[in-house]
Chains A and B, each alone.
Chain A
Amino acid sequence: MTARLSFGLMVAAAGLLGQVSQVKLPPYSRQVLPNGVVVDLMARPGVPLVGFRILVKGGGESDPADRAGLASVTAQLLRKGTSKRSADQFSEELDFLGGTFQAGEGFGISSATTISAEFLKKDFDRGLDLLTDAVLRPTFPEAEVRKLVAQRVDAAKSLKDNPQGAIGSYFQSFFFGASHPYGHPADEITLARIGRQDVVGYHQSTYCGRNMVVIVTGDFDPAVAGPKIAEAFGGAAAGTAFAWPAAAPFRSGGDLLLVDKPDATQTYFYIGQPGVDRKNPDRVTLQLVNTLFGGRFTSMLNEELRVNSGLTYGANCQVQEPRLRGSIVITTFTKTETTAKAIDMALDVLKRLGEKGIGAEQLASVKAYVKGTYPPARLQTADQLAVILGDLELYGLGRDEVDDLFARIDAVTLEQANAAARKYYKPDHLTFVLLGNAAKIREAAGKYAPKVVEVAVSKPGLGGE
């Protein structure tokens, strides 16, 4: 299958045209168990499935820098042997129910380990038993730990065969820098250092009552399910809540990392600058501006780099909104020969946003777009609603995040939008990461930054220093 757009381009989707004034988060109950576990229950009848989403606070932020990947390795090992079941028994039982169980996979910045599982409505009890057995009572057999770590090391190597995936990790490492909680994504070096004691210790300190959120959404009866959940999770030790690390300074802008992949026929590039955190009051305004700049098909970036010039299949800009301040990053790719042309064009569009700003018609269009695309992307399924509830808990936000969203969008003025464009989209002190055939693009790369760091993709790790 060959599609018109890659899904990476379909970012930042959030409701509606004129006559629909507001969307609401469906009702749910929130309870705190005596040991500190937060339980959110939201019944959504429809497809006969029930979904569980468990958050364990910390995630990538709790990884030791020299053992990055520990949180996700621990999560993947939960099912590999429990007090009641061997790894094989767990898998056999889960598959027999047609259930799903995902824990800790995925890349990027995270502030929690997420364990999500889904079962047929009729299998609620058996599903809950499987889930709590894995989350609360794993045994972490030595052989399973070694096996998983070896697999993860190979997976980290194999990621480098996929330039689009690999550049994200190189960027995260280079942009934030080693001293920042977000600056050490897992790689084959840090993963290889992880042993059973690390995993056991991590589980003991973070999988505890004060550090866990349990969210249940889908087709179930909360009156019946509530006491069952309370019983299942109420037995966990209260422990201590994860102490969030303070923000550290980013790498100062102006540097460029060149990742050499000698067989590449196109160059992938990221251009980043500091953005916002999850509670920043400018977020809604910024989301509108960014959607115009690089978050939809007719965005300024995609218009220039794809539609008008045919230089790329897609160009976009993402605003990360993590717990600490994240990045605003332009991402695209073009054939090796047009590397400089495409980077120059992206920088021109960036400069133009700050200088010329946006117009009233554009603002009206993007408001309708962000509202129109919000319900299918965020409020349609039980899983989507569980993601929202998880974010509210993790970042300490209220339901007004959803309930007042459209009103907040409507309230953004043209002046505010243009102020945000000037404030956040600066044309200098940018951090660049280029992945491609260095022999052919090295010279061009030099003109974008006084300091260029070069690394071969075949070199273990992500180290740009």
Chain B
Amino acid sequence: MRLAIVLLCLSALGWAQPADVRTETLQNGMKILVQEDHNIPNVAMYFFFRIGSRNEHPGTTGLSHFFEHMMFNGAKKYGPKQFDIQMEKNGGNNNAYTTEDTTVYTDWFPRSALELMMDMEADRIRDLSFDPKMVESERGVVYSERRLSVDNSNFGVLFEQLGAAAFVAHPYHWPVIGWPSDIESWTMDDLKTHFRMGYAPNNCVMVVVGDVSNAEVMGLAKKYLEPIPRQEPPPPLRTKEPEQLGEKRVVVRKRAQLPIELVAYHVPETKNADDAPLDVLETLLVHGQSSRLYNRMVDKEQLALNVNAFRQNALDPGLLIFSLSPRSGVEPARAEKALFEELDRVRNEPVSEQEMRKAKNQLLADHYRQLKTIAGRANLLGVYEVYYGDYRKLFTVEQTLEAVTAADVQRVARQYLVEKNRTIATLIPEAPAAEGSR
């Protein structure tokens, strides 16, 4: 057995309490991270599988997310409904989420339930069952989720159209939840193939944070998880998104009180060295009421109800997206013009040291905020391991940020925030056809 134990101190974060992360890789390739924290008698246990909508194909879009649901519908030892029944009976609860790149299972429970949880997780990773009745009922649930988060959400509809327009070749083109016709037509074979490919232990990172000892976690992992056989992981992705050649626009017409506009720019993957300069750039543009875009667009000129920027973690090059809701009577074009002027300004004028300091202070304080809970830490450890390639980078966030210069911020703005590289999606309210007030 190969053991790789790494001991780290959180001193870089300035913590009052020492906190260590221990790691080990099981013989079947599953990597385990453990951080002990005895503040409350509870545990957060997260499983990060490197499979998401980027591993799907036309016809089976949404399958990773569907699988996220199916994992709760029964395995060999613990049958249908038993995962939730046993977990709740032992004082725990759970959730799960799917992104373009990963499927993550999140368990929170009292320390006394640790062995049960390991047993149940191992059971479903190894021996998930595929009951046709369960598949049909869960299909209805997923469709309802789609209606909730996409079809009946103006933001959801627009966001889906934006992604489909921004990416022409790469699988980030389709939505994580899947196209409606695909949700309706997955077959049992699709499911089984996808499960074998994604749920290999060597395709997974397990993170445990909370009231446990490293020795007990490792002991139980060897007992329950290590016997699961290693498999072929998903094949490497071939398709790369070709360079964008000019601005693209999408319009969605829908009943609405207010318009929405999304403006997206292609940016590199999370692991890229430009991640930190992009963080600083986003922060000074939209974070807090003193930020450039908030101050001008929401406050001074009252063009928008809100303005935000976000970039999802991504294994492949993704998007930096600005979102804004123009105020009543404000043409989206007018709001958009102010946004572009501000982006021009950051490209053309160096950012002051004071503003750099402010953005870094905001980012660091927010970083601490994410570390308050055992769940927050379990998630971040997994995110850093999967997206940044090494969980240890979580402990050098401060140094990485401090190294960002005003010139870096200007450089990334010049490189990525350009017209040729952008996609704009606008939701324009459709006037109701002679609808009277009742």
Contact of B151 among A79, A98, A265, A381 (CB under 8 A): A265
Residues B396-415 near A (CB distance < 8 A): none
> B185 near A: Cβ within 8 Å?
no
Nearest Cβ in chain B — how far from A115, in angstroms? 15
Bound CA–CA A13/B92 (angstroms)? 10
- B residues less than 8 Å from A35 (CB atoms): none
Bound CA–CA A92/B361 (angstroms)? 12
Bound CA–CA A380/B95 (angstroms)? 19
Bound CA–CA A454/B435 (angstroms)? 14
A381 touches B372 (CB 8 A): yes
**A283-315 contact mask (Cβ, 8 Å, vs B): 1 or 0:** 000000000000011100000001111111100
Bound CA–CA A108/B96 (angstroms)? 28
**B241-261 contact mask (Cβ, 8 Å, vs A): 1 or 0:** 000000000000011111000
> A248 near B: Cβ within 8 Å?
no
Name the interface size band of chain B.
35 or more
Bound CA–CA A324/B15 (angstroms)? 43
A379 touches B40 (CB 8 A): yes
- A residues less than 8 Å from B137 (CB atoms): 307-310
**B89-122 contact mask (Cβ, 8 Å, vs A): 1 or 0:** 1111111111100000000111011000000000
Known contacts being A49-B369, A88-B290, A88-B295, is A313 close to B144, with CB within 8 Å?
yes
> A97 near B: Cβ within 8 Å?
yes
Between A98, A154, A369, the greatest number of chain B beta carbons within 10 A of the residue's beta carbon is seen for A98
Known contacts being A16-B112, A95-B358, A95-B362, is A375 close to B149, with CB within 8 Å?
no
Q: Which residue of A lies closest to B69 (CB)?
A: A4
B92 touches A95 (CB 8 A): no
Nearest Cβ in chain B — how far from A219, in angstroms? 7
B432 touches A458 (CB 8 A): yes
**B108-151 contact mask (Cβ, 8 Å, vs A): 1 or 0:** 11101100000000000000000000001111111111011101
B291 touches A47 (CB 8 A): no
A381 touches B289 (CB 8 A): no
Contact of B148 among A17, A49, A120, A266 (CB under 8 A): A266
> B328 near A: Cβ within 8 Å?
yes
Stretch at the interface among B80-88, B193-201, B337-345: B80-88
A157 touches B145 (CB 8 A): no
> A32 near B: Cβ within 8 Å?
no
A46 touches B365 (CB 8 A): no
B144 touches A310 (CB 8 A): yes
> A327 near B: Cβ within 8 Å?
no
Nearest Cβ in chain A — how far from B69, in angstroms? 6
Stretch at the interface among A256-264, A269-277, A412-420: A256-264
> B438 near A: Cβ within 8 Å?
yes
A1 touches B258 (CB 8 A): no
B65 touches A98 (CB 8 A): no
A375 touches B258 (CB 8 A): no
Bound CA–CA A265/B42 (angstroms)? 41
Q: Which residue of B lies closest to A48 (CB)?
A: B14
Stretch at the interface among A67-75, A161-169, A201-209, A349-357: A161-169
**A344-379 contact mask (Cβ, 8 Å, vs B): 1 or 0:** 000000000000000000001110110111011001
- B residues less than 8 Å from A264 (CB atoms): 152
Known contacts being A160-B257, A380-B374, is A298 close to B85, with CB within 8 Å?
yes
- B residues less than 8 Å from A47 (CB atoms): 15, 368-369, 371-372
Nearest Cβ in chain B — how far from A376, in angstroms? 5
- A residues less than 8 Å from B257 (CB atoms): 157-158, 160-161, 458
Bound CA–CA A238/B356 (angstroms)? 43
> A150 near B: Cβ within 8 Å?
yes
A365 touches B89 (CB 8 A): yes
Known contacts being A19-B112, A380-B39, is A13 close to B141, with CB within 8 Å?
no
Bound CA–CA A48/B14 (angstroms)? 8
> B320 near A: Cβ within 8 Å?
no
A310 touches B136 (CB 8 A): yes
Nearest Cβ in chain B — how far from A173, in angstroms? 16
B110 touches A17 (CB 8 A): yes
Name the interface size band of chain A.
35 or more
B437 touches A161 (CB 8 A): no
- B residues less than 8 Å from A260 (CB atoms): 438
Between A5, A20, A96, A97, the greatest number of chain B beta carbons within 10 A of the residue's beta carbon is seen for A96
Bound CA–CA A334/B143 (angstroms)? 10
Bound CA–CA A147/B298 (angstroms)? 10
Contact of A15 among B91, B141, B142, B373 (CB under 8 A): B91
> B347 near A: Cβ within 8 Å?
no
Nearest Cβ in chain A — how far from B146, in angstroms? 9
Residues B217-238 near A (CB distance < 8 A): none
B112 touches A306 (CB 8 A): no
Contact of A154 among B15, B72, B328, B354 (CB under 8 A): B328
> B418 near A: Cβ within 8 Å?
no
Nearest Cβ in chain B — how far from A15, in angstroms? 7
> A140 near B: Cβ within 8 Å?
no
B96 touches A4 (CB 8 A): yes
- B residues less than 8 Å from A262 (CB atoms): 255, 432, 435
> B287 near A: Cβ within 8 Å?
yes
A369 touches B89 (CB 8 A): yes
A157 touches B328 (CB 8 A): yes
Bound CA–CA A369/B91 (angstroms)? 4
> B302 near A: Cβ within 8 Å?
yes
> B325 near A: Cβ within 8 Å?
yes
Bound CA–CA A312/B375 (angstroms)? 27
Q: Which residue of A lies closest to B283 (CB)?
A: A95
- A residues less than 8 Å from B371 (CB atoms): 47
- B residues less than 8 Å from A119 (CB atoms): 365
> A444 near B: Cβ within 8 Å?
no
> B331 near A: Cβ within 8 Å?
no
Contact of A151 among B176, B305, B312, B437 (CB under 8 A): B305
> B299 near A: Cβ within 8 Å?
yes
B88 touches A376 (CB 8 A): no
Contact of A5 among B85, B95, B176, B328 (CB under 8 A): B95
> B423 near A: Cβ within 8 Å?
no
A375 touches B41 (CB 8 A): yes
Contact of B68 among A4, A266, A296, A459 (CB under 8 A): A4
Contact of B289 among A91, A97, A312, A334 (CB under 8 A): A91
B152 touches A18 (CB 8 A): no
Q: Which residue of A lies closest to B149 (CB)?
A: A2
> A94 near B: Cβ within 8 Å?
yes
A158 touches B302 (CB 8 A): no
Contact of B299 among A18, A118, A147, A379 (CB under 8 A): A147
Contact of A161 among B16, B142, B154, B312 (CB under 8 A): B154
- B residues less than 8 Å from A92 (CB atoms): 290, 358
> B17 near A: Cβ within 8 Å?
yes
Bound CA–CA A92/B81 (angstroms)? 52
- Mind listing 17 A-B residue pairs with CB under 8 Å? A2-B149, A4-B69, A20-B112, A46-B372, A47-B372, A79-B289, A91-B295, A95-B287, A119-B365, A266-B144, A306-B141, A312-B141, A334-B144, A372-B91, A372-B92, A376-B374, A458-B435
Q: A298-B88, A458-B432 are in contact. List 7 more A-B contacts (CB 8 A).
A: A4-B95, A47-B372, A92-B358, A95-B289, A262-B255, A368-B90, A380-B372
* Residues of A that sit less than 8 Å from B by CB: 1-6, 10, 13, 15-20, 45-49, 79, 87-88, 91-92, 94-99, 118-120, 147, 150-151, 154-155, 157-158, 160-164, 219, 260-266, 296-298, 306-313, 333-335, 364-366, 368-369, 371-373, 375-376, 379-383, 454-456, 458-459
